């Protein structure tokens, strides 16, 4: 089977085109570095199945970060290259094109964002460009599908381009300059009022102001949507569900099966949060408490991603992140990590050096709580008062900064400076936003629900076997002295390895004081990543650095939890 790879600069729309060609749903956004791993898809071209690869963006054939390495490793495996070029910044993209043409492989160029180029008063002489490059050039608008059919039609008559005419002494960029001067004309544009507003979001003072307003409104949007779902959707549904559940419970004999499915009855009734059965707590935690906020968060994140604001945010926070051993791009792992740590850790591939990646990955898995955990923290601490919630997140923020400063000093290696393309603002397409939100929610359901069932089952089995009782007794003195928590909190810490949201829920029946609960959820957030994050840490860091990272997590939890105990519990 033939293999085609989509290759091009970051943020030119490769993934949108990939999704158009193969029908495979992929996450796309308006910032460079959305795709950090390659994706495979298939399509049939003139009756013949073809494999299509969507590569992460790369500015040149010399990899500057891990995502670019992935892209370049695909080059050797491919029969055909579709070079996706951003028509609004032709000169830049052609630099990669010229390098690709030297690879002696058939190349076709998709001149993407054709509509936007015209809108900006940029006109490109396509026949002339074809002549100069000696490969087919097809204007496309991947988002609407315009030109995609022609692109497919022309895949047939591809041949290896001849060596370029003046590939003598001239350097690639000089050659590109010649080509661009021949084919492109740009209408002069004045700096408009709109441009000035747009610029304000990357300037020091106004930019920070804008960042605070934008992030704060997103936080309220998430709360508003999440609470709305709970009040008008989830709560009534779970009330209805209680009827068959109670019947089932009274029909079943008490015993192990009852314990696993329904769990313990609290005052003779099912209690969704405390019963600990698969059909009760196992369903209520992921669907009743966490899912509404997951939907809300990913909707808000999609808005943020697709407008093109993220690179501007990265610019504004660069100063802070630079002192933590990363640069502004490090804000992206943090933001994605607030949804789920797994994509957060993966997106650290966009950082250039090993030191930066290690710091970003460690900080995300230590001190960035995922949405599932955050929803549960709000759920269990909400009625005790905002003070305690602030205390939890304030501690996590303090840990993030303090640990970052420390790791910057202690980790060997280099930290590169920020070097980031800022795409124009684009109006997000609602359909794309909804689709992206749904993809991520689906991923959450597929990942979270099975693990929650497994978690509930494991807790029940360990309980029956007496393991939990045994461990609790032996760890009680330590827990009491160090964290001011009862030994009964240990099972929650163990369950936290499977699912943090479940673990937070398990603290509720213990009757802890708000101060104890605050310490417990903070320690739970810090001490160790969940199993899914753990697996991806292993993949990204390797054994040695993963163990180092894990050791940092455990010691951070001990120190931060210990300090909180001293301050909170007299």
Partner 1 sequence: MNEILISHLLPGENATITALRGGCGFQNRLRSFGITEGKKVRIVAKHPLSGPLVLEVEHRQVTIGRGMAQKIKVTREA
Interface ranges with partner 1 (CB under 8 A):
9, 59-60, 62, 64, 88-89, 91-92, 95-96, 120, 173, 177, 186, 189, 199, 202-204, 207, 311, 314-316, 318-319, 322, 327-328, 416-422, 424
- Closest CB 202 distance from partner 1, rounded Å: 5
Cβ closer to partner 1: 211 or 291?
211
Q: How many CB atoms lie within 10 A of CB 254?
A: 10
- Closest CB 375 distance from partner 1, rounded Å: 34
Helix (H) / strand (E) element for 123: namely: strand 122-124
> Rg of the chain over CA atoms, in angstroms?
27
State the Cα–Cα distance between residues 227 and 229, nearest whole angstrom. 5
- Closest CB 306 distance from partner 1, rounded Å: 18
State the Cα–Cα distance between residues 248 and 242, nearest whole angstrom. 10
Token pair, residue 417, equals: 């400076």
- Closest CB 422 distance from partner 1, rounded Å: 4
State the DSSP string of 135-201: S-EEE-BTTTTBTHHHHHHTTTT--PPPPPTT-SSS-HHHHHHHHHHHHEEE------HHHHHHHHT
Cβ closer to partner 1: 318 or 515?
318
- Closest CB 151 distance from partner 1, rounded Å: 24
Token pair, residue 229, equals: 């779902």
- Closest CB 91 distance from partner 1, rounded Å: 6
- Closest CB 85 distance from partner 1, rounded Å: 13
Cβ closer to partner 1: 402 or 425?
425
Residues with Cβ < 8 Å from 343, sequence gap 6 or more? 336, 337
Cβ closer to partner 1: 306 or 488?
306
State the Cα–Cα distance between residues 55 and 14, nearest whole angstrom. 8
Beta bridge partners of 171: none
State the Cα–Cα distance between residues 54 and 81, nearest whole angstrom. 11
State the Cα–Cα distance between residues 521 and 513, nearest whole angstrom. 12
Residues with Cβ < 8 Å from 290, sequence gap 6 or more? 371, 372, 375, 376, 448, 501
State the Cα–Cα distance between residues 499 and 370, nearest whole angstrom. 11
The phi, psi pair for 333, rounded to 5°, reads -55, -35
Cβ closer to partner 1: 114 or 444?
114
State the Cα–Cα distance between residues 228 and 142, nearest whole angstrom. 35
Cβ closer to partner 1: 25 or 421?
421
In 3D space, the residue among 506, 467, 502 whose CA is nearest the CA of residue 489 turns out to be 506
Cβ closer to partner 1: 98 or 433?
98
Cβ closer to partner 1: 16 or 94?
94
- Closest CB 311 distance from partner 1, rounded Å: 7
Cβ closer to partner 1: 207 or 288?
207
- Closest CB 44 distance from partner 1, rounded Å: 35
């Amino acid at each position: 089977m033939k293999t085609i790879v989509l290759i091009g600069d970051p943020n030119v729309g490769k993934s949108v085109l990939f999704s158009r060609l193969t029908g495979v749903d992929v996450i796309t956004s308006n910032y460079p570095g959305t795709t950090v791993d390659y994706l495979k898809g298939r399509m049939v071209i003139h009756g013949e199945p073809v494999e299509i690869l969507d590569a992460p963006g790369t500015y040149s054939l010399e990899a500057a970060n891990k995502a670019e390495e992935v892209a370049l490793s695909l080059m050797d495996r491919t029969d055909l290259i579709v070079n996706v070029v951003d028509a609004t910044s032709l000169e830049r993209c052609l630099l990669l094109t010229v390098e690709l043409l030297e690879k002696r492989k058939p190349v076709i160029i998709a001149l993407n964002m054709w509509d936007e180029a015209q809108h900006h008063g940029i006109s490109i002489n396509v026949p002339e460009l074809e002549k100069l490059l000696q490969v087919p050039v097809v204007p496309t608008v991947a988002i609407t599908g315009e030109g995609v059919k022609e692109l497919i039609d022309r895949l047939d008559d591809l041949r290896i381009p001849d060596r370029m005419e003046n590939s003598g002494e001239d350097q690639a960029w000089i050659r590109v300059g010649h080509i661009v001067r021949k084919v492109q004309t740009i209408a002069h544009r004045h700096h408009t009022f709109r441009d000035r507003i747009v610029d304000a979001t990357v300037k020091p003072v106004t930019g920070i102001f804008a960042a605070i307003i934008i992030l704060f409104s997103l936080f309220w949007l998430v709360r508003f949507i999440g609470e709305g779902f709970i009040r008008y959707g989830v709560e009534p549904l779970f009330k209805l569900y209680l009827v068959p559940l109670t019947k089932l419970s009274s029909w079943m004999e008490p015993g192990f099966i009852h314990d696993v499915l329904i769990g313990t009855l609290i005052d003779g009734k099912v209690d969704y949060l405390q019963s600990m059965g698969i059909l009760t707590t196992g369903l209520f935690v992921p669907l009743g408490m966490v899912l509404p906020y997951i939907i809300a968060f990913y909707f808000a994140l999609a808005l943020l991603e697709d407008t093109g604001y993220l690179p501007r945010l990265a610019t504004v926070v660069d100063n802070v992140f630079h002192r933590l051993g990363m640069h502004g791009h490090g804000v992206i792992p943090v933001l994605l990590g607030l949804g789920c740590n797994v994509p957060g850790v993966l997106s650290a591939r966009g950082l250039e050096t090993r030191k930066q990646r290690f710091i970003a990955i460690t900080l995300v898995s230590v001190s960035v709580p995922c949405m599932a955990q955050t929803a549960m923290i709000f759920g269990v601490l909400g009625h005790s008062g905002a003070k305690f919630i602030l205390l939890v997140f304030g501690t996590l923020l303090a840990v993030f900064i303090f640990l970052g400063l420390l790791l910057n000093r202690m980790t060997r290696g280099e930290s590169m400076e920020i070097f980031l393309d800022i795409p124009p603002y684009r109006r997000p397409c609602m359909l794309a936003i909804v689709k992206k939100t749904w993809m991520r929610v689906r991923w959450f359901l597929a990942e979270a629900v099975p693990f929650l069932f497994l978690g509930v089952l494991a807790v029940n089995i360990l309980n029956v076997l007496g393991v939990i009782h045994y461990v609790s007794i032996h760890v009680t003195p330590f827990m009491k002295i160090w964290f001011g928590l009862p030994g009964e909190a240990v099972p929650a810490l163990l369950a936290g390895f499977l699912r943090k949201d479940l673990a937070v829920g398990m603290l509720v029946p213990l009757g802890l004081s708000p101060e104890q609960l605050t310490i417990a959820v903070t320690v739970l957030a810090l001490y160790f990543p969940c199993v899914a994050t753990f697996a991806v840490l292993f993949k990204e860091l390797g054994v040695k650095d993963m163990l180092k990272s894990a050791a940092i997590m455990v010691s951070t939890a001990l120190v931060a939890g210990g300090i909180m105990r001293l301050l909170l519990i007299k």
